Amino acid sequence: MPSGAEPLITGKRICLRKVQPSDVDGPYFSWMQDPEVTRYLESRFSDNSKPAMRRFVQGALDDPDIHFLAIVLRDGGRHIGNIKLGPINRHHKSADIGIIIGDKGCWGKGYATEAIGLLSAHAFKKLGLHKLTAGCYAGNTGSEKAFLASGFALEGKRKEQYLFEGRYVDGLLFGLVNPEG
């Protein structure tokens, strides 16, 4: 495990720890070069060179309103994805969640749902947030199922929001309000 990257949140099968610049030298970089992994990510339009990714990671580490976490298997410590909370809107006590399961061997196994649940509970109980939001392209059934299984509700659709593979698709908007107020 990279230095300074002790687990912050531990679940049944995974733990979440801060993403470190050194993670760019691991599987994270290869995920961001794989069109199948980045198919539904807006970050596929960004500079995903190693220097740019290191700057992104360092920027997240330096920003107290962003929590950029690695999803790591408890059994063996393999880094399988990342999840980000933020930026946090401190006035409204809200934040957006984004997630990537980069390890294709871990797709469809519930790791995203577990990570979203762990981070949501942390956001409500430890950070005092009131609401979490997320979005995905219509057709990204993996993300849609993970957010719904984590208790998020489909709050809206933005008709033909994204040009995706030569056609326009809707944007799906999800939300979860802190169940304790």
Q: How many CB atoms are located within 10 Å of the residue 181 CB?
A: 6
Overall average pLDDT of the 38-66 stretch: 95
Output the CATH code of domain 7-177.
Answer: 3.40.630.30
Place of tokens 């107020």: 181
CA 156 to chain centre: 20
- Average pLDDT for the chain: 95
Which H or E run includes 162? strand 153-164
- The H or E element that residue 7 is part of is strand 7-10
Distance CA 96, CA 69 (A): 14
> What would the two tokens of residue 48 be?
């995903």
More confident residue, 130 or 5: 130
Average the pLDDT over 24-53 and give the result.
Answer: 95
- Residue 122 scores a pLDDT above 70: yes
The ranges assigned to domains in the chain are 7-177
Band (3; pLDDT cuts 50, 70, 90): very low
pLDDT in tens, 97-116: 999 999 999 999 999 999 99
Instruction: Give the pLDDT band of residue 84 (cuts 50, 70, 90).
Output: very high
- Which pairing describes strands 153-164 and 94-101: parallel, antiparallel, or unpaired? unpaired
Contact 82, 111 (CB under 8 A): no
Percent of the chain at pLDDT > 70 equals 97
What integer pLDDT is reported at residue 87 of this predicted model? 97
Residues paired with 134 in a beta bridge = 174
Q: Which residue has the tokens 């392209």?
A: 137
Residue at 134: amino acid letter: A
pLDDT at residue 82, rounded to an integer: 98
Distance CA 140, CA 147 (A): 11
Task: Indicate the pLDDT class of residue 6, thresholds 50, 70 and 90.
Answer: confident
Mean per-residue pLDDT for 11-30? 97
